[in-house]
Structure 1
Amino acid sequence: MTMRPLSRNRQLFYDICIVGSIVASVLITYISIQRGIYEVFPYFYLIPLVLIAYSRPKLSIYGSILIGWIYVALVFIIGLPDIKTYILATIWFYIFVSLGILISTYSQAYRKESARSCGTYYNSQAGAFSYDRETLMLREVNLKFATMIRYSPEELMQKSLSDIIPDREERESFISKTRDLRRVGDIEVRIRAGDGSTRWVLVSAAETGEPVVVCTAVDITETKLAQESLTQANKKLNLLNNVTRHDILNQLSALLGFLELSRQKTTDPQLIDYLAREEQAANAIRSQILFTRDYQNIGVHSPQWHNVPETVSLALASIDLHSILVDMRIPAVEIYADPLLEKVFYNLIENSIRHGERVSRIDFSCRESGTGIILRYHDNGVGVSPDDKDRLFQKGFGKNTGLGLFLSQEILSITGLTITEKGEPGKGACFEIAVPREAYRFTDTLNKSE
């Protein structure tokens, strides 16, 4: 922590100590000289010398000269006519003055640096506070943080973490995140303000050499409220979409049923052809409506860390593989992606089964690249023709609905992941998912570090 300027009361206390130590040094000098003791008493003058340098560094040089003259005067006035004693007294005088200059120079430099740091701390546009790890009492608070949570700095200095983070579980979680760590960032915590309201604060914390944790805080209340409002709006919109989609699908089911009845009631070839086209159009509408169900869920929930082998296994378990052999050589790695990541692997597997024609083997693998890792999916089917590669991820392109790969690309792009097709025609399809460095972590490394 930086050194704050001394308060009036503390400055007065130090001044009294300085005067008292000078008086005590004078008395000790008088008694020592009277009893013929000349070796010890000069060291007592170092006490007021240090006190002056600490509490009043600008007066340190003058104070050291004054102390030196007091010492010399006492020795010359009440001392014995011994030339050796006078020489030692003169030497001590120069020692006091030299020490005073040296200590004053360093003290003033330290004060300037401390004042600069204090100014940065207390006048920062970011909130700043510290608390004692044992008592949880707030130790230092700047004006920005006090204003942020509707207190005055003086009021906050009387508070503890229990007062501003009343929720026990949230408070213990906050404390545990700052325990035994040199630096901690991005801790979201709710703080009860002085007016009784709740403020959301993003806190970064760091330990010091003292039993104190120093924190900086940014008010994110408005952002959190906006996020909550957006979440509520999305929930209402999704509810409306679900109801509307359900009603449309019900009407389509009725329409398809009547088309089938109409086909059974007529023998006119032209009319049967019209009915077939109408049924095809109705099924296309049905596929589009079902696609909106999957697409509306992209980005609704926050991205999270997914264990890749487990996610692939879940996708494999939800589809009939038709005796296809699966070889999965993916290490214990997690990637940061939308909760619909499983749908990506499902779509790739379904694409192989539906369009690979002769797929008997699917391989999953992983390798590191210069910018992150590459998750590789490969089958031994007919592959993708060169003409189709550029349009493969376009919405509506494909032999079925043309939406699966488009949906997969959209899911991955939420967290900056990309997917490309790198296979050779006739040798199978090969999809590579590029994961940037910040979006993956090896779980075995995490376990070792913990």
Structure 2
Amino acid sequence: MRLLSPKKQRIYDICIVVSAIAAAFITVVSLNRGIYEVFPYFYLIPIVLIAFSRPKMSIYGTVAIGWLYFAIVFLIGLPDIRAYTLATVWFYIFVSLGVLISTYAQVYRKEGERTCGTYYNSQAGAFSYDRETFRIREANKKFAQIVRYDSDELLQKSLSDLIPDVAERESFIAKIRDNHRVGDIEVQFRAWDGSLRWALVSAAETGEPAVICTAVDITDNKLWQEAISQANKKLNLLNNVTRHDILNQLTALIGYLELSRQDTTDPIMLKYIEKEETAASAIRSQILFTRDYQNIGVHSPQWHNIAETISLASATIDPRKVFINVTLPPIEVYADPLLEKVFYNLIENSMRHGEHVTEIRIRSEEKEDGVDIIFEDNGAGVPDPQKEKIFRREYFKNTGFGLFLSREILAITNLTIRETGTQGQGARFIIHAPRETYRRIMQI
């Protein structure tokens, strides 16, 4: 793939000259000893070398070598018509062979130049390493920029130099060895100045000993993510401390309101105290809501086995006399880590507001644009005017906010939820996962 460097080109030129001189010398020696059949084959060596290293000059070089051979035979060879005839035939063979090899060599070289141009001038980093020794064989300029090396310096390095973490390096090599083709592996490279650079690497084994890799620099994204993560941690810490202090003060306030209730018999004051207690209780619920809401989107989404997630959610709830029937195929959904809380909220909501719920059914239906996870119960259902209101923050009963939180959790990865049940026959919630956010689990 790599074009000939000036140094290698000079070596080929020297080999061409030396092989041509050697062929001429062998011709002189052979003719002087009466040998006419073998020596012409030695001229094929410089012809092939010219065609490979300088395809644009191949025709001229071949003609020159043919004339060299022809001249030596006519000058030194005996006045033998048969020898002259063979020399003429070989001359035309050399020229024809040179033209043929030159034509194919130029096509091959153009294809190689186009491939190399794409490889070496790509905006994505590209490199290859030896499958046995793990030494770097090739690297384009973009990859050299990523790891802050000169391209030629990289050829003196190996994977152990570029990926210093032993466990990470062995994992990277093992994935390629086991799968032969991998994509989007996050790898940490050590740069020339000792800094660490993150890249998203794809790799493929070839028929050759080399493994070809492409790398996209994601260092800035990783640093940005780390900065955002640190900022979120600090904000969450501040929120937790502030919320804790407010709840402590609120507890004291509720305690004083209770003491005030005990120390007065004035009906008007009792009415005021009751309203104050209601307001304090609402404040407490809203503050507790912020505790749950702040955790949404803090951690990266991940793939969830839906059946296992529902099992974990239901395990934390006392089912009483409610039978939970889960009939789901082996599927995974890409969602926020709080997905378990969504199913917890749905189950808890059915038990709390379904009035006479005895069974909860959870199943799925595949659609052209994704999959629907259907949650049904046989309770009282939701009145039509309230089907959308139940997902709003301002609409809640008891501790409230459960369905609002569920919709927000699902929205992180573009999942949606809606209620489509019939009042009096039961609630029916449909969670829709777009095609790119769900997958079937491969059965081993």
Query: What TM bracket, shorter-length normalisation?
Result: over 0.9
Instruction: Say whether 1:386 aligns with 2:387.
Output: no
Contact 1:207 1:213 survives alignment (8 Å): yes
Instruction: Say whether 1:6 aligns with 2:5.
Output: yes
Q: Distance in 2 between matches of 1:116 and 1:354?
A: 68
Which residue of 1 is the match for residue 221 of structure 2? 223
Alignment of 1:48-67 (within 5 A): 48-67=46-65
Task: Note the C-alpha offset of 1:365.
Answer: 0.7
Q: Distance in 2 between matches of 1:88 and 1:44?
A: 15
Q: Compare 71-80 and 281-290 and name the one that shifted more.
A: 71-80
Q: Distance in 2 between matches of 1:54 and 1:80?
A: 35
Task: Note the C-alpha offset of 1:202.
Answer: 2.4
* Structure 1 residue identity aligned to 2:323: L
Which residue of 2 is the match for residue 120 of structure 1? 118
Contact 2:370 2:434 survives alignment (8 Å): yes
Residue deviations 1:241-290, cap 9 Å, x none? 11111122222222222333333344443333332222211111111011
Q: Compare 246-255 and 303-312 and name the one that shifted more.
A: 246-255
Which residue of 2 is the match for residue 314 of structure 1? 312
Residue deviations 1:23-57, cap 9 Å, x none? 33334444555555544433332222111111121
Q: Distance in 1 between matches of 2:253 and 2:11?
A: 93
Contact 1:202 1:219 survives alignment (8 Å): yes
Q: Compare 239-248 and 124-133 and name the one that shifted more.
A: 124-133
* Structure 1 residue identity aligned to 2:46: P
Residue 206 of structure 2: which of 205, 208, 212 is its match?
208
User: Match of 2:204, SS?
Assistant: strand
Task: Note the C-alpha offset of 1:293.
Answer: 0.4
Alignment of 1:249-268 (within 5 A): 249-268=247-266
Contact 2:191 2:197 survives alignment (8 Å): yes
Percent sequence identity is 66
Which residue of 1 is the match for residue 109 of structure 2? 111
Q: Distance in 1 between matches of 2:388 and 2:440?
A: 33
Q: Superposition RMSD on alpha carbons, in Å?
A: 2.1
Alignment of 1:251-290 (within 5 A): 251-290=249-288
Alignment of 1:151-230 (within 5 A): 151-230=149-228
Structure 2 gaps of 5+ residues are: none
Which residue of 2 is the match for residue 408 of structure 1? 406
Task: Note the C-alpha offset of 1:172.
Answer: 1.5
Residue 140 of structure 1: which of 123, 128, 138 is its match?
138
Task: Note the C-alpha offset of 1:83.
Answer: 4.1
Contact 2:354 2:381 survives alignment (8 Å): yes
Task: Note the C-alpha offset of 1:123.
Answer: 2.9
Contact 2:388 2:418 survives alignment (8 Å): no
Contact 1:181 1:207 survives alignment (8 Å): no
Structure 1 gaps of 5+ residues are: none
* Structure 2 residue identity aligned to 1:381: G
Q: Distance in 2 between matches of 1:384 and 1:92?
A: 96
Q: Compare 12-21 and 295-304 and name the one that shifted more.
A: 12-21
Task: Note the C-alpha offset of 1:77.
Answer: 4.0
Q: Compare 29-38 and 62-71 and name the one that shifted more.
A: 29-38
Contact 1:315 1:345 survives alignment (8 Å): yes
Residue deviations 1:415-441, cap 9 Å, x none? 111111121222111111111222222
Which residue of 2 is the match for residue 348 of structure 1? 346
Which residue of 2 is the match for residue 99 of structure 1? 97
User: Match of 2:409, SS?
Assistant: helix
Q: Compare 117-126 and 347-356 and name the one that shifted more.
A: 117-126
User: Match of 2:389, SS?
Assistant: coil
User: Match of 2:189, SS?
Assistant: strand
How many residue pairs get aligned? The number is 444
Contact 2:388 2:419 survives alignment (8 Å): no
Which residue of 2 is the match for residue 335 of structure 1? 333
Q: Distance in 2 between matches of 1:201 and 1:187?
A: 8
Q: Compare 167-176 and 38-47 and name the one that shifted more.
A: 38-47
